[in-house]
Amino acid sequence: MTAIVILGAGPAGAAVALGLRRLGHDVTLISEWRRFAALEGVSQRVLEALRGVGLHQALTDATVPSQRQVNWNGQQHAQNIEFLLDRPTFDRGLREALRDAGVELIEARALSVRSSASGHRIALAGGAVVHADFLVEARGRQAPALGKGVRGPETVSLLNRWQGAPGTTASAVESLEDGWAWMARRVDGQCYWQWTVDVASADFPGKARLLDYCRQRRQASDFARAFFADARENDLQLRARSSTAILASRVCGDNWIRVGDAAMAVDPLSGNGIFQSLSSALQAPVVINTLLRKPERTALAQRFHQQRLEQLFLRFARIGRDFYADEQRWRDQPFWQARRQWPDAQVAHAEADFAALRIERMPVLCDGFVDEAEVVVTADQPLGIWHVQGVEVAPVLRRLRSEPVDSVLAGLSEEQDRMIRGWLLSQGYRP
């Protein structure tokens, strides 16, 4: 039996562990549990993705809906519903889900990992040593770097947390001259203000004065003062962390794989941090299953994981770039100038062009393994689309070049016919 070890018990590591158990693999997960309070704003799409990997119970007591206020480019509005995820509560539920699935949990800090073609030696705090045939690196931004990789503008987020007066649950985002702030308050009075700034241009005081400096910046905002209302700030704490967008130079080898923020970490502005972590983690169990059980497909499986992560990274980076470009008041300030131009000038969502569709052979996921199939490559899906409503679209496109659409779609169910026609129209097809 292959010994599979996962380092890191965040959403990405948990998703990989649960996926591997469903594919019949034994899994050991090693992680230190979160020691500090943290709150994250997530979308409905993130909740659906977390439920999709089997974390229903972990979310039961951990999420509270909140109307998010936005103060951006001088305009204020209530944008949408944001769910505030209490990470300590969520993490406890996550561990229960892992235990229920039969994942072996080891609570410890990995001090070092020595890897070779024959396996991995993991030294833990306290002196224990664990050996793995296959290693999943899911320790987020704390994972050791692999080469230079791709990095966005260097960014740091300063999280201020304090105890205020009990009130209503709410969250908000505000753009500032030299960065932006995300803020939240819980019904129990826990308050959060996270200020994201540019490392190169920020003029911070020394560490001893940084807490007071953040308080001054927060209180200088009319929007933030109105949001928090209560002036009390008991037990004020400060935590700094990098929020630079990063893509690892390599994300998969013959006996290891990177997932979540250890593989790629995106700018927090897009609000897709957990979602992108899950995006890479959902495909990883199938990639690992292929590497272990169909080694003749190793190159194909590695290519699939590498290409998908690179494409996800660029998509999220361009979405973040467009958010920054929406702020026009300080477009020439260093923070905004650097981010409105990175990573490139390509549009985040390309216009459909039916004439430009082409058929290529690409790696796909099929019955628990990475396989190869004909897919339709589009401007918005450069890695291709294989199925729509269970129907392979490459043969449909090939026949449409010489046959009428009614003939091509004859024999499909009513639902399949409707979905295929809708997809064709979305790609610019006009009968």
Q: Is residue 45 part of a domain?
A: no
Indicate the pLDDT class of residue 69, thresholds 50, 70 and 90: very high
Domain boundary among 308, 339, 370: 339
Tell me, rounded to whole angstroms, the distance of Cα 349 from its chain centroid.
Answer: 18
Indicate the pLDDT class of residue 153, thresholds 50, 70 and 90: very high
Could you tell me the residue range of the domain that residue 370 belongs to? Answer: 354-426
27 in Cβ contact with 19 (< 8 Å): no
336 SS3 class:
helix
Tell the burial category of 346 from Cβ atoms under 10 Å away from its Cβ (0-12, 13-18, 19+): exposed
For 409, phi then psi, to 5°, come to -95, 0
Q: What is the CATH number of the domain that holds 271?
A: 3.50.50.60
pLDDT in tens, 222-241: 999 999 987 788 989 999 99
Q: Which residues pair with 66 in a beta bridge?
A: 82
| 330 and 414, same domain (yes or no) | no
8 in Cβ contact with 123 (< 8 Å): no
In this model, does residue 271 exceed pLDDT 80? no
| 371 and 403, same domain (yes or no) | yes
Dihedral over alpha carbons 87, 88, 89, 91 (to 10 degrees): 80
Indicate the pLDDT class of residue 1, thresholds 50, 70 and 90: low
248 in Cβ contact with 263 (< 8 Å): yes
Q: Which residues pair with 234 in a beta bridge?
A: 163
| 295 and 364, same domain (yes or no) | no
Please compute the mean of the pLDDT values over residues 300-320 and round it to a whole number.
Answer: 94
Q: Is residue 292 part of a domain?
A: yes
Q: How far apart are CA 385 and CA 381, in angstroms?
A: 7
Helical segments of 35-84, H only: 44-52, 56-60
- Write out the two tokens for 49: 């993705």
Nearest to 260 by CA among 290, 283, 289: 283
| 400 and 256, same domain (yes or no) | no
In this model, does residue 176 exceed pLDDT 70? yes
Q: Residue 47: what pLDDT?
A: 86
In this model, does residue 221 exceed pLDDT 80? yes
Q: What is the pTM of this model?
A: 0.93
DSSP 3-state helix, strand, coil percentages of the chain (rounded to 5)?
A: 35, 30, 35
Q: Is residue 255 part of a domain?
A: yes
Q: Is residue 154 part of a domain?
A: no
Residue whose entry in the numeric block shows the structure tokens 């052979």: 361
Domain count, the chain: 2
Indicate the pLDDT class of residue 55, thresholds 50, 70 and 90: confident
In this model, does residue 118 exceed pLDDT 90? yes
In this model, does residue 67 exceed pLDDT 90? no
pLDDT in tens, 343-382: 999 998 888 999 999 999 999 999 999 999 999 999 889 9
144 in Cβ contact with 263 (< 8 Å): no
Please compute the mean of the pLDDT values over residues 92-115 and round it to a whole number.
Answer: 95
In this model, does residue 270 exceed pLDDT 80? no
> What is the percent of the chain with per-residue pLDDT over 70, rounded to a whole number?
98
The residue count of the chain comes to: 431
Q: Which helix (H) or strand (E) holds 407?
A: helix 405-408
Q: Is residue 186 part of a domain?
A: no
| 267 and 402, same domain (yes or no) | no
Q: Residue 295: what pLDDT?
A: 97
Q: How far apart are CA 39 and CA 381, in angstroms?
A: 33
Domain boundary among 282, 315, 339: 339
Residue whose entry in the numeric block shows the structure tokens 């439920």: 51
Indicate the pLDDT class of residue 148, thresholds 50, 70 and 90: confident
Q: Residue 304: what pLDDT?
A: 97
Q: Is residue 162 part of a domain?
A: no
| 410 and 274, same domain (yes or no) | no
Please compute the mean of the pLDDT values over residues 57-70 and round it to a whole number.
Answer: 83
